[in-house]
Amino acid sequence: MDIQVLEGALVELPTADVRGMDRRAFGEFVGPRGELASYAFGWSTGSDPHVARLSIGIGVGNPGGGTFHAVIFANEDGHAFSLVDEPFERVPQGGPDLTADQSRAHEDLPFVWWVADQVMRHDRRAWWMRHWLLGTTCVQTPEVFERREPVLFISHDADDGVWQLIGASDASGSTGKVGHLHHAVDEDPSLIDVLDLPPGSSAVRAGVEKPWTEDV
């Protein structure tokens, strides 16, 4: 059996200072031999530095069960995890909240890190969060930047890694506007399906509610 990363609820609320959004995503993990884990991760837009939170729970009702808590942060061209004491979220498969030291001593910590990697790889909300962590920029046509046209074409350049967002208007000769990719998803959540495009690939769609077709 292949692994399964099952996306659950996404909870979005204004931050206390009303300058951003607090987002918390929940889900379930099923391993190839039926191993179970629950997870939650979250980030708050408008916060600085950009640091996200993660909780992974295993072994509910069993002596070795527990909930592991970590922060996620940008590291070179990717991201990294670090265990923390402070609990983030309660998750169904979790047990008692573990401190960082208890987590490091736990025999199942390698499994927990493997789950974390799979969640970051397969949960679309994690792609969105990762672009926020990294501050990924994108070049948009003026029509897309000013929200006069929806994004119909998105590409991830192979040479310089630049993301491009284009609408219905001809992009040739236009003056591109630079913005953050995660802000584009704030405006159009349907972009979440193509946030994992590898360098050198692109995707196109006929309209906002139409499916994306990838050209890898």
pLDDT tens-place string over residues 25-61: 999 999 999 999 999 999 999 888 999 999 999 999 8
164 in helix, strand or coil? strand
Give residue limits of the domains in the chain: 4-134, 137-215
Q: How many CA atoms lie within 13 A of 93 on its CB side?
A: 19
**How far apart (Å, rounded) are the C-alpha atoms in residues 112 and 110?**
5
pLDDT tens readout for residues 71-109:
999 998 899 999 999 999 999 999 999 999 999 999 999
Residue 131 β-bridge partners: none
- What's the rounded mean pLDDT across residues 10-31? 93
pLDDT the model gives residue 137: 94
pLDDT band at 19 (very low <50, low <70, confident <90, very high): confident
The answer to whether residue 215 scores a pLDDT higher than 90 is no
Average pLDDT, the chain: 94
The answer to whether residue 173 scores a pLDDT higher than 70 is no
Tokens 């292949």 belong to 2
pLDDT tens readout for residues 117-137:
999 999 999 999 999 999 999
pLDDT the model gives residue 76: 86
pLDDT band at 14 (very low <50, low <70, confident <90, very high): very high
pLDDT the model gives residue 47: 85
CB 14 within 8 A of CB 22: yes
pTM for the model: 0.93
Q: Residue 26: which residues within 8 A CB-CB, separation 6 or more?
A: 8, 9, 10, 11, 38, 39, 40, 89, 91
pLDDT the model gives residue 165: 96
pLDDT band at 1 (very low <50, low <70, confident <90, very high): low
Burial 8-33 (b: 16+ CB within 10 A, else e): bebeeeeeeeeeeebbbbbbbbebee
**How far apart (Å, rounded) are the C-alpha atoms in residues 183 and 29?**
28
